[in-house]
Chains A and B, each alone.
Chain A
Amino acid sequence: MELRELHFRPLNFGRWLIWGSTALLFALLPVAFEKGFALTLMSQMGVMIIFALSYNMLLGQNGMLSFGHAVYSGLGAFFAIHAMNWIASGKLAWPISLLPVIGGLAGAFFGVIFGYLTTRRAGTPFAMITLGIGEMMYAASLMFPGFFGGEGGITGNRTAGPPLFGIPSLTFGPQMQVYLLIAVWCFACMVAMFALTQTPLGRIANAVRDNPERAEFIGYNTQRVRWLMLILSSFFAGIAGALTAINFEIVGSEFFHAARSGGVLLAAFMGGIGFFFGPIIGAVVFTFFAVALSEFTKAWQFYLGAFFVLLVMFAPGGLSSLLLMNLRVMKFRRFARLRDPYVGVLLTAMVLALGTILLIELTYHVTLDTGLGPVTRLFGIPMDTSTPGPWVLATFVLVSGAVSFDYYRRRFGERWSEIQIEIEDWIRDNPT
């Protein structure tokens, strides 16, 4: 009898811990940030998490680069807002809290139709077809104002339905209640989408991503796999759309705009498409740029773009891979050797960023805000853009930041690859 063949399965405590603390975090966040703006921001982050995760079902898990994912969230949003109005007029008996089901089904329905066309091809043809369908949908939304509301869009009233659980105060009027609704849906969708990665279809989607031809020779119709994944992904995108409709109470043709499809790609990629949780981080960072930073500066898209470019250049696996690489260095007890180079890199990067921001903001003020006079306040300090002083200062900070950053970046890079090689060697010499 071979005892070594005995299998035992420990309860996956790690996984329970992660999901449990996520749920706790969702519940506690509004206690810490109860201000209106923070709630708005967190609500949008929750929606974006669902949207980015649903996008990654295509890109990260199935290898499909889509430029038209906003089609499904947009349709989910429109069906949800119409349903909201039917609820208000008494034509539909359905709780507001379950509107995302309608949005999801609408998304999935159009996933069946459009997906049948798009998923017949993979790779670049797929990407191009999705781009085309996205453009078509945007155009169609302006062509049929009856359903899509034309330029003005469709408005709704989320308090219209009967209150939740019959409790009179639960009307989804206050933003806090909307946040909690989004948090519950977001958590449920995260769990569902994670569970999906642990199913036969989810794993075969990975196989199709890696090698579609081989998948055909182990019995799988790769078109069917891509189609099913797209339908499921559209379902979750539709849920995200419906939650947006509840959050804003207005849905317009811009929901189909290519910028939305591009935005979700950006968010997923920034977070990292190689890990399930990558797009979650990406969605949080992206929403922070798009919602919070845009409050402070008109140049937010510039900063987002610059951040994205730097990330793709230096950490192509996204923020999640950056995080895991550092955790691995810590696990192998080599982080101490990185501490000094890290301090150098981060400090000089901040100087470089400061110089860049100063120069960008000054330029934006000169080109876009000339009507407001030559003086602008940056970091609380008034600066007269008509005098050379601020420009010289900004350039000086930028150049000194760039030079010192470049020095520390090299030192950091050397140390980093040194450590990575040590770790790789260790792993190779000690299998399992």
Chain B
Amino acid sequence: MKPDRPLHPATRADAANAPALELAGVHKRFGRTEIIRGIDLAIAAGERHAIIGPNGAGKSTLFNLISGRFGVSAGRILLSGQDITNRKPYQINRLGLARSFQITNIFHRLTVFENLRCAALWSLGHRYAFWKNLNKLKDAEDRAEDLLRRVGLKRRRDTVGGLLTYAEQRALEIGITIAGGASVILLDEPTAGMSRAESRHAVELIREVTQGRTLVMVEHDMSVVFGLADLISVVVYGQVIATGTPTEIRANAAVKEAYLGQHVEAA
């Protein structure tokens, strides 16, 4: 275990060349149970990267570490070369990383429009302003309207978030995640619980809205993974056992043995 091993010299100067997201020797223990047991991962800017693995492998925990929901026990996490280890979620978000949640996590008493507008406010520089009239902020309104169209919820604009159907809430969840214009997007099982048709629709949506951004997603549905991802990392028991293109992962014997098996035949 080398939690404090030296990293590539990542300074502002070469931030442009740095990976969009980099994990180095990341560990996470809950009490005496080690959930993440040393993960190194570098995700290039613009890449679509899927993280797969059996239940309980630590995929969601990994997302929680990257997004700042939990602190790491050891190791470092860099966002475009900037150290974000153990920063607060809102600090990490302001640096350009946004995430969605496995269990729908929206503002259920606000309308769809307000959900999206709220999610855009910080990045547009309106922050905590209590001297600006929200309804006169053209930039926030335009951004929210644009997002409404992109996630396909224009007809539900004034419906309260809590009253949407499940698939609509998932779409809103993605809308909230991309609203701030983050360069790195983490999606945690974006198609969980969806029907085949809804899931196909969601894949198109994700492909469209993450154009030009770095996407990292946890996903169980192999058709979604193989349809979207440029690279796949397989996490088993808190470690990355393989990283490669979909073709490589399909062919990887260790992966097959550890996890994929019948999923590959199905896909």
Contact = CB atoms under 8 A, between A and B. Distances in A.
B71 to A, nearest CB: 14
Of the four ranges (under 10, 10 to 19, 20 to 34, 35 or more), the interface on chain B belongs to 35 or more
A211 B89 CA distance: 14
Contact of A206 (B109, B126, B140): B109
Interface in A361-381: none
B105 A210 contact: no
Contacts of B131: 199
B217 to A, nearest CB: 16
B107 A228 contact: no
B106 A218 contact: no
Contacts, number: 104
A220 interface: yes
Nearest to A213: B105
Given A203-B118, A206-B107, A220-B122, A196 B130 contact: yes
B107 A200 contact: no
B98 interface: yes
Interface in B86-123: 88-90, 93-94, 98-99, 101, 105-110, 114-115, 117-119, 121-123
Contacts of B69: 213
B155 A219 contact: no
Contact of B107 (A196, A207, A219, A232): A207
Nearest to B107: A210
A317 B149 CA distance: 34
A68 interface: no
A431 B155 contact: yes
Contact of A199 (B67, B122, B130, B156): B130
B110 A206 contact: yes
Interface string A194-208: 011011111110110
A369 to B, nearest CB: 49
Contacts of A200: 121, 126-130, 132, 134, 137, 140
A216 B88 contact: yes
Q: Tell me whether chain B's interface is mostly helix, strand or loop, or mixed.
A: loop
Contacts of A196: 130
B208 interface: no
A331 B99 CA distance: 42
Contacts of A220: 90, 122
A214 B176 contact: yes
Nearest to B142: A7
Contacts of B89: 216-217
Q: Tell me whether chain A's interface is mostly helix, strand or loop, or mixed.
A: helix
Contact of B179 (A199, A203, A204, A218): A218
A432 interface: yes
B109 A210 contact: yes
Contacts of A431: 155-156, 159
A225 interface: yes
Given A206-B109, A211-B106, A219 B122 contact: yes
Contacts of A219: 90, 93-94, 122-123, 180
A211 B107 contact: yes
Contacts of B94: 219
A200 B131 CA distance: 8
A49 B35 CA distance: 53
A225 B118 contact: no
A221 interface: yes
Interface residues of A, number: 30
A218 B119 contact: yes
B248 interface: no
Q: Which of A195, A201, A206, A215 has the most CB of B within 10 A?
A: A201
Contacts of B195: none
Contacts of A222: 90
A215 B119 CA distance: 8
Contacts of A198: 133-135
B198 interface: no
B158 interface: yes
B130 A217 contact: no
Given A201-B129, A206-B107, A207-B107, A217 B98 contact: yes
Q: Which of B93, B123, B128 has the most CB of A within 10 A?
A: B128
Q: Which of A207, A228, A432 has the most CB of B within 10 A?
A: A207
Nearest to B159: A431
B128 to A, nearest CB: 5
Interface string B74-96: 00000000000000111001100
Contacts of A228: 128, 130
B167 to A, nearest CB: 16
Contacts of A199: 129-134
Given A204-B128, A210-B108, A217 B67 contact: yes
26 contacts: A200-B128, A200-B137, A203-B118, A206-B114, A210-B108, A210-B110, A211-B105, A211-B106, A211-B107, A211-B108, A213-B105, A216-B88, A216-B93, A217-B67, A217-B105, A218-B90, A218-B93, A218-B119, A218-B122, A218-B176, A218-B179, A218-B180, A222-B90, A224-B128, A225-B128, A431-B155
Interface of A: 195-196, 198-204, 206-207, 209-211, 213-222, 224-225, 228, 232, 431-432
Interface of B: 67, 69, 88-90, 93-94, 98-99, 101, 105-110, 114-115, 117-119, 121-123, 126-135, 137, 140, 155-156, 158-159, 176, 179-180
